[in-house]
Amino acid sequence: MIVQLQIKVNPALYLRDPETSALGKNILKHGINMIYDIGFEEFTFKKLAQSIGTTEAGIYRYFENKHRLLTYLTTWFWTWMDYQIAFHTNNMADTKQKIHTVINLLTFHDKDAHTIEHIPKEQLHRIVVAEGVKSYLTKHITEDNKAMLFMPYKDLCHHIALLFTDYAPTYPYPHSLASTLIETAHHQIYFKDNLPRLTDYGGDKHFQNITIFLRHLVFSVLDAKL
């Protein structure tokens, strides 16, 4: 059985849907690899065009600018993550177990076997960790938000918040805790690799300790009395 998972992204994020052509898919694939390799600041459409074998103007037909491409990618990731959570927690009886699953997914604790041809997920995850916040830390956040660009992030946050409320119905800050969980997963991954003195994970090669830290954090908060 081959199931093709297609993620539909808000059309406001692109000029031409990159999923509908070979060039579009190349922009996504090479774009992810290049941002991963050289970072978002160094990344330009000219360099991307060269690596694909097309022209700068060719890429501008798909994305208004590189910031929009970044938002496309992070949005894609949030939608995908939201789906992963729905998929993996489906039919689980225990809410606590569901929350464990969410934390494992957010830290990429379990590797996902399902590969998508033109989206290198491992690299995309790293982009979201290292560059993701740049998609909303801008002066045009208000317009972007009105254009619903961050809906997938909000949905993800809301779904996690629902689990929190299910587990601890009286806890008054489920959304704040959910966004904190997501953001903390990211910066702790980044700090572990780049500013380890801001963490206590020592030489831990994987995300084991981050997972334990996050589990303890979330359940301490939800189990505590108010």
Partner DNA sequence: TTATTAATGATAGTAATGCTATTTATTATA
Partner DNA sequence: TATAATAAATAGCATTACTATCATTAATAA
Binding site for DNA (CB under 7 A): 16, 21-24, 42, 44-47, 53-58, 60-61, 64-67
Please state, in angstroms and rounded to a whole number, the distance separating the CA atoms of residues 56 and 47. Answer: 8
Q: Residue 41 Cβ, how far from DNA at the closest point, in Å?
A: 8
For 152, the enclosing helix (H) or strand (E) is helix 151-167
Q: Does 191 bind a copy of itself (CB under 8 A)?
A: yes
Is 115:190 a contact under the CB 8 Å cutoff?
A: no
Q: Residue 36 Cβ, how far from a copy of itself at the closest point, in Å?
A: 10
Q: Residue 139 Cβ, how far from a copy of itself at the closest point, in Å?
A: 4
Q: Which does 168 bind (CB under 5 to 8 A by kind): DNA, a copy of itself, none?
A: none
Smaller CB distance to DNA: residue 36 or 207? 36
**Could you give the dihedral angle defined by the CA atoms of residues 103, 109, 183 and 217, in that order, rounded to the nearest 10 degrees?**
50
Please state, in angstroms and rounded to a whole number, the distance separating the CA atoms of residues 28 and 144. Answer: 21
DSSP string, 50-72: HHHTS-HHHHHTT-SSHHHHHHH
* Interface ranges with a copy of itself (CB under 8 A): 38-39, 41-42, 130-131, 133-134, 136-139, 141-142, 145, 150, 153-154, 157-158, 172-180, 183-184, 187-188, 190-191, 194-195, 197-201, 209, 213, 216-217, 219-221, 223-224, 226
